[in-house]
Every structure is written in structure tokens, then in C-alpha cells.
């Protein structure tokens, strides 16, 4: 297949809330442009972009998917993204590869939480945007209501290019404000152009005048002509509109129905005409040898590519989706990964549409392609020429805010589990795996319950590892608040040599976070020097085994000041046991307390929800450190909250804010746990 020049490439990401119809719209675009013979259905599990078993079973997208199609000489690389909050990291990756974001909004549900979040991210990245109002054929659909919501949420710049003809089941076409024509569709979605219906003409004229005024302000010459009474042609308006879109000052709104096909062909044409071409789209920041580097989308330049997604296929292996940033890449090209310093041979280049692939003879700058079997390259990595260690800035993965403890069902699957988890992390950087030594648990962390459930399902399907989940244990600790001392005596008589050792220990508290200090204050040879390390070892083992409440002991100074030994029966073992016994006895008398981990929580919520979130944090024993205003009518709340109280905060905050709240949490320090809660904790030690 011949390659496309950057000027003929449009990289477009569909984003929006779950259920808005993004995947159905992608399917309709593929069908109306001839990329596929007939449109599949999400509900039937036949959609091109939802091909993983987990997606077909849940009837929703869980990962970004490429779906290229052609409009004349223009290649549109469409990227379908999930709309569920757990998989927002996929939207970040898609926006990295895209030159335009199309926000898909349901005409029934209106502007929902993930649509707002996607819009805010696109604005933060400076990514041009347009909006498709979908499902206008559905009951309770209202274009006017949604348009009002768009203006209320996203402010100035919202510019409707179309008005619907008919409502709900009677929706049959659109009024094209640029060409001043009506486009009516028959039952087979075939369009027919004609004049604007009389009943709609006054409104269409008014809205068109507003649209033209909003477009011409971006072009001084056009504005001057317009003020003199010279109305621009549809072609001139489109050209000025494309400039406004690229500059992020105009956000066109178009409408239709993915289910019936009304308006879909029009959207395909607008993407080819209005979306920034690859050579005019924004390029990511890059550096080399610590210095900023300017990337040029030039097919004649040095080859440079970035991996924006990794797929893990149980049969093919690893498939990397690349954005070609510069140069022209051909099969068997060799590039270097600056992160791993390894050479990667790109044996095969592929056009990928859903799960189907076609070979490519080359890929020019600006294109999005698939390359299988890159052994040492992961999502976010850069591939550059040898001797040119360029690193491209890639979005940080979504923070892992919900954890679950996992273990393999079969005892012999520990190695398979870790291999599978590593492969899943390559595919999805939002997943994290860590081992907590204090609780002896392996934690799988992600962005929400569905994210973790899907990861466990993939572990089973792709790598043959079934896992069990268990309650997440909080790593509580113990310390002392007073000084005390105790004698530890270990005496055991058996046939032959016995065991004898006596150690006198004094314990006292240290400042929080100082850990452990051991002092040898024995004089007169009461304990021979060679046995003192054994006493310390016994103390350390006793500390790790737990104090009176069963949790590891920290922040203690231990002084060994006296003891007794026997010239025949004493040994390292006897003094190790004596040290442990003395320590346990002394700690029990030193007013021990339980320490709980405290997390520093940062929550970002709409201003109107601040009161509810603050009240909820107080109920979780949180101490609010401060609040600050953010742009977009949002508030940042900082608080210190016991870690045990926020183990499921990802789920609870989503429910509390309707998916509009976001947070991050990091361990801050340990603090004393209230005695009444200690009693409950020790009654239910699972924590």
C-alpha cells in the first residue's frame, strides 16, 4: 500500500462519555467511506474497534483503537477511545497522537462528566476541538438543550455548523449553515440536497449570520469585506474556519445519528476539510543531550517515532502503535530506543484497523502505524536514529488510585503471574504492581474497580493465570511512649549441653521516623562481646514479628545493660532468644500505641461540589490543609487522611461527584491511632 504525505493525513481522536456512541460513530464513518463493507454493532459484539473479548462482553470500549478511512486523497486516522473514567489514560495517549479531538455528546444525556474531562485535557494540551451531537433520532433528544449545555460548559467559541431537520424519530437530515442548504437522508442514509425548509428558514438565517460573524473575525481581510456587505463564499468560510479550529478559537458543532447514518458522511467530509493536516498539527516536545529539540513533520528528515500504545496479542505477541514524527520509515529500518539503548529492527510496518492489519511499504511523517515484535520498547518510548538520542515527551499515565491484593489460584503460577503482570503493564502503564513486605501482599493498582477487574480477566485469558483477590491490609505499626526495662532468660536443658542466656534490656521511644537504635552498655563481661550481636538480632526479629497488638515495632532505642552467661551452655541462639523475650516484655510495659499510615490527599472538584467533599473528608478523620481555586471553576483540596479511610476513595469520590472529581494520594507519615479505633482494629485484625 502506498504511503501518504503529511499534507494528506488527518489524525482524529473521538472522545466523550461512556455511552455517547463513539464506537458506533467510528463504525458508521468506516462504513460510509467504504473502509468496511458493512457497519458492525457494539451490542452484537461485531464493532471493528471493540474486538477484545472483555470489550464485547461488557459492550463498551476499554482501550483506544485505530480505524483509518479515506475521503478522496485524504487519509483520516480515526482513534476511538473509551468513555469510562477508569480508562481515561487511553484518551491521554490518543490525544498525544491526534491533531484534532472530536467530542461526541449524546443528544439525550447531554454534556456528561467524561466529556468535560476530555475537553479540559484537550484545552490543556492546546489540541483543536470540534463536537458531534449524536443520537438525535432517539426519544427525548434535544439539539437546542445540548447546545445550551455546550455553551454553559465550554464558553465562547462554540459554533454550530448544522441544525437538525426534525426531532427524535422524525429526525431526517441537517441544515448545512456553510452552504445554506438542507441535506435530507432516505431510509438507506443516501443524502439529497435542497433548499432550507420554510419553517426553519428564519432560525437558520439568524444562526448562520452569527456563525459567519464568528468565523470572519479570524481573518482581517475577510472581516473587512464582510463589513462592507460582501458575503464570503462557502469555500472561503471553510478556509477561515479551518484556521480558527487550528488556532483553538472556534469549536464547530455538527450533528447526526450514528445509528441511522444521518450526517455521518458530512462529518467524514468535514474531518478531511477542516481537521489540521499532520504537517500543521502540533508536535510534542522533545529533547536530546539535555537540550530542547524542535521536531519538523518532514518526510525527508531523520526518522523519528513515538509509541503511543502497546497491544499484547496472545498469538502475535506485542504490537506497538507508532506516531511517525519525522522522516520516512520503511520495513527493516533499524532505530534505537534511547531509554533502553537497544536497537530495534522494524521488520514489518502495518496499517491497523481494529484487529485487522495490512502491510505497508513505508510510512511518512505524520502517519499512525503498527509494528509487531519490538522486544525492548514500551508505551511512551521514542525510536530515533543511532547516535541521535532524542526523547519525546509523553503524557504521564493516569495515577493508580485503587488497589487490590492478588495471589495466583494455583501455587505454581507465581512466575507466570509476574510475567503476565509485566506484559499487562507494557500494554497499560496505568497499572502498577508492588510487593508490600510488611503485609506480605502483592498489590495490583489501577484507576478503578472495572480497570482492575479487566486486568484480572486479561491475566486469565492471555497468560493462563487465574488470580484470587483478598482484602487490602493496611501496614500498621507499633511504637512505645514510655521507658521500661525487662529481663529475658532463656534456659533449656537437654541431654548433653543445654541452652542458657540472660539479657537485661532497657527500651525508650525515639522521634517518629528514626527507626531503631541499639546500644551495648554491658560492662564487666556479664555478656561476652561475641554474644551481643545475637541479642540485637533477637530484638530485630521480635520487632518484625510485632508488639502487643501484632504489628511491627518502630522508633525504639534498645539498650542492653546487663545479663548472665554460662561458660558451657551459653550460645548465640540462647542470647538471641533472651534478647527477643526481654524486648517483648519491655515493650508491653512501655505504654505501646498503634501507628497508622497517613496519606496526603489532593482532590480536584468543581467548585459547587467542594462542600460535599470537605464534609466527606471530615467523616474520614481527614485534616484539611487548604483549598485553592483552579481555572474552569474548580477547587483543589489538600488534606491529610488516614490511609485506611481512603482504600476505596476512587469509587466513593466518583459516586460523590458524578465522576467529576479527581484525586491523587501519597504516603506522608505515620501518626498515633485513637485508642477506641485500636480496640476495633485488634478485634478485627484483617485491617
* Distance from C-alpha of 23 to C-alpha of 83, rounded to nearest angstrom: 10
The band of 302, judged by pLDDT with boundaries at 50, 70 and 90, is very high
CA distance 423 to 459: 9
User: Has residue 366 got a pLDDT over 60?
Assistant: yes
Segment (H or E) for 669: strand 662-672
* 178/162 Cα distance (integer angstroms): 8
Q: Residue 37 is placed in which grid cell?
A: 463493507
Please state, in angstroms and rounded to a whole number, the distance separating the CA atoms of residues 14 and 575.
Answer: 69
Per-residue model confidence as pLDDT tens digits over 377-390: 999 999 999 988 89
CA distance 659 to 83: 11
pTM here is 0.88
The grid cell for 77 is: 486516522
The residue-averaged pLDDT of 460-483 equals 91
d(CA 144, CA 131): 14
* pLDDT score recorded for residue 496: 64
- Quote the cell numbers at residue 475: 501496614
Q: Starting at the edge strand that comes first in sequence, how are the strands of the sheet with 162-165 ordered?
A: 162-165, 173-176, 181-185, 191-194
Rounded mean pLDDT of 153-164?
90
The residues that bridge with 164 in the sheet, in sequence order, are 174
When pLDDT is cut at 50, 70 and 90, the band that residue 291 belongs to is: confident
How far apart are the C-alpha atoms of 511 and 555, rounded to whole Å?
A: 6
Partners of residue 477 on adjacent β-strands: 595
Alpha helices by DSSP H, listed for 437-517, are: 449-463
Report the b/e string of 322-352 with b at 16+ CB within 10 A: bbbbbbbbebebebbbbeeeeebebeebbbb
**CB-CB contact of 667 with 597 (8 Å):** yes
Q: Is the pLDDT of residue 497 over 90?
A: no
For all residues of the chain together, what is the average pLDDT?
92
All three cell numbers of 687, joined, read 485491617
Rg of the chain, C-alpha, whole Å = 32
> Which cell numbers hold the place of 358?
495490512
Strands (E), 196-237: none
Does 623 have pLDDT greater than 70?
Answer: yes
Strand partners, 129: 101
Give the model confidence (pLDDT) of 42-63 as tens digits: 988 899 999 999 999 999 999 9
- pLDDT confidence band for 510 (50 / 70 / 90): very high
Strand order in the sheet with 467-470: 432-436, 441-446, 402-408, 467-470
Q: What is the pLDDT of residue 495?
A: 63
Q: Assign 1 a pLDDT band (cuts: 50, 70, 90).
A: low
Q: Are 586 and 509 in contact (CB under 8 A)?
A: no
Q: Measured between alpha carbons, how far is 352 from 502 in angstroms, rounded to an integer?
A: 74
Q: How many CB atoms lie within 10 A of CB 190?
A: 10
In this predicted model, what pLDDT tens digit does every residue of 63-89 receive, in sequence order? 999 999 999 999 999 999 999 999 999
DSSP category for residue 553: B
Instruction: Give all domains of the chain, ordered by start, each with its CATH number.
Output: 6-274 (3.40.50.300), 286-392 (2.40.30.10), 402-470 (3.30.70.870), 478-590 (3.30.230.10), 596-683 (3.30.70.240)
How confident is residue 437, by pLDDT bands cut at 50, 70 and 90?
confident
Q: What is the mean pLDDT of residues 270-281?
A: 94
Q: Specify the pLDDT at position 198.
A: 87
Beta-carbon contacts of 107 under 8 Å, excluding residues fewer than 6 positions away, are 133, 134, 135, 136, 138, 141, 142, 143, 146, 255
Amino acid at each position: 500500500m502506498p504511503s501518504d504525505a503529511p499534507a494528506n493525513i488527518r489524525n482524529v481522536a473521538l472522545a466523550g462519555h461512556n455511552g455517547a456512541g463513539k464506537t458506533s460513530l467510528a463504525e458508521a464513518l468506516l462504513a460510509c467511506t467504504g473502509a468496511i463493507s458493512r457497519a458492525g454493532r457494539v451490542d452484537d459484539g461485531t464493532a471493528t474497534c471493540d474486538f477484545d473479548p472483555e470489550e464485547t462482553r461488557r459492550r463498551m470500549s476499554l482501550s483506544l483503537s485505530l480505524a483509518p478511512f479515506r475521503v478522496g486523497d485524504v487519509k483520516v486516522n480515526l482513534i476511538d477511545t473509551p468513555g469510562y473514567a477508569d480508562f481515561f489514560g487511553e484518551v491521554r495517549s490518543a490525544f498525544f497522537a491526534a491533531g484534532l479531538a472530536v467530542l461526541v455528546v449524546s443528544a439525550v444525556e447531554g454534556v456528561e462528566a467524561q466529556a468535560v474531562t476530555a475537553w479540559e485535557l484537550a484545552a490543556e494540551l492546546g489540541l483543536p476541538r470540534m463536537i458531534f451531537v449524536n443520537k438525535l433520532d432517539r426519544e427525548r433528544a434535544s439539539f437546542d438543550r445540548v447546545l445550551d449545555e455546550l455553551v454553559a460548559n465550554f464558553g465562547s467559541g462554540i459554533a454550530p455548523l448544522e441544525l437538525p431537520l426534525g426531532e427524535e424519530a422524525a429526525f431526517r437530515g441537517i441544515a448545512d449553515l456553510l452552504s445554506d442548504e438542507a441535506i435530507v437522508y432516505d431510509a438507506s442514509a443516501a443524502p439529497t440536497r435542497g433548499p432550507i425548509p420554510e419553517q426553519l428558514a428564519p432560525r437558520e438565517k439568524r444562526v448562520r449570520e452569527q456563525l459567519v460573524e464568528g468565523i470572519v473575525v479570524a481573518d482581517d481581510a475577510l472581516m473587512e469585506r464582510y463589513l462592507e456587505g460582501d458575503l464570503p463564499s462557502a469555500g472561503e468560510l471553510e478556509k477561515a474556519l479551518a484556521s480558527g479550529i487550528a488556532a483553538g478559537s472556534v469549536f464547530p458543532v455538527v450533528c447526526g445519528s450514528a445509528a441511522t447514518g444521518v450526517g455521518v458522511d458530512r462529518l467524514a467530509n468535514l474531518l478531511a476539510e477542516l481537521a489540521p493536516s499532520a504537517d500543521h498539527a502540533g508536535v510534542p516536545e522533545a529533547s536530546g543531550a539535555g537540550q530542547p529539540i524542535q521536531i519538523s513533520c518532514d518526510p525527508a528528515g531523520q526518522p523519528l517515532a513515538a509509541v503511543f500504545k502497546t497491544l499484547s496479542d496472545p498469538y502475535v505477541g506485542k504490537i506497538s502503535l507508532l506516531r511517525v514524527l519525522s522522516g520516512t520509515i520503511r520495513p527493516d529500518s533499524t532505530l534505537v530506543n534511547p531509554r533502553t539503548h537497544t536497537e530495534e529492527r522494524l521488520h514489518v510496518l502495518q496499517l491497523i484497523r481494529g484487529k485487522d492489519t495490512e502491510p505497508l511499504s513505508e510510512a511518512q511523517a505524520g502517519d499512525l502505524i503498527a509494528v509487531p515484535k519490538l522486544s525492548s520498547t514500551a508505551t511512551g518510548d521514542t525510536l530515533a536514529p543511532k547516535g541521535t538520542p532524542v526523547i519525546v515527551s509523553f503524557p504521564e499515565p493516569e495515577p493508580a488510585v485503587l488497589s487490590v491484593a492478588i495471589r495466583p489460584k494455583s501455587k505454581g503460577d507465581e512466575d507466570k503471574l509476574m510475567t503476565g503482570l509485566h506484559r499487562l503493564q507494557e500494554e497499560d502503564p496505568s497499572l502498577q504492581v508492588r510487593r508490600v513486605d510488611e503485609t506480605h501482599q502483592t498489590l495490583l493498582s489501577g484507576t478503578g474497580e472495572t480497570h482492575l477487574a479487566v486486568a484480572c480477566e486479561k491475566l486469565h485469558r492471555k497468560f493462563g493465570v487465574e488470580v484470587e483477590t483478598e482484602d487490602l491490609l493496611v501496614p500498621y505499626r507499633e511504637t512505645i511512649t514510655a521507658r521500661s526495662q525487662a529481663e529475658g532468660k532463656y534456659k533449656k536443658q537437654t541431654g548433653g549441653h543445654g541452652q542458657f542466656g540472660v539479657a537485661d534490656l532497657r527500651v525508650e521511644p525515639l522521634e517518629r521516623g528514626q527507626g531503631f537504635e541499639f546500644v551495648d552498655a554491658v560492662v564487666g563481661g556479664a555478656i561476652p562481646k561475641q554474644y551481643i550481636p545475637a541479642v540485637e538480632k533477637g530484638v530485630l526479629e521480635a520487632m518484625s514479628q510485632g508488639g502487643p497488638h501484632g504489628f511491627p515495632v518502630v522508633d525504639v532505642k534498645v539498650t542492653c545493660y546487663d545479663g548472665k552467661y554460662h561458660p558451657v551452655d551459653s550460645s548465640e541462639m540462647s542470647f538471641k532468644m533472651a534478647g527477643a523475650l526481654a524486648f517483648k516484655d519491655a515493650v508491653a510495659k512501655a505504654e505501646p500505641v498503634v501507628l497508622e499510615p497517613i496519606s496526603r490527599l489532593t482532590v480536584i472538584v468543581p467548585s459547587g461540589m467542594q462542600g460535599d467533599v470537605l464534609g466527606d473528608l471530615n467523616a474520614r478523620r481527614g485534616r484539611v490543609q487548604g483549598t485553592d481555586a483552579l481555572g474552569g471553576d474548580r477547587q483543589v483540596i489538600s488534606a491529610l487522611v488516614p490511609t485506611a479511610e481512603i482504600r476505596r476513595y476512587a469509587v466513593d469520590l466518583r459516586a460523590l461527584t458524578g465522576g467529576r472529581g479527581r484525586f491523587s494520594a501519597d504516603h506522608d507519615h505515620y501518626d498515633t491511632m485513637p485508642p477506641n479505633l485500636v480496640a476495633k482494629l485488634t478485634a478485627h485484625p484483617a485491617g
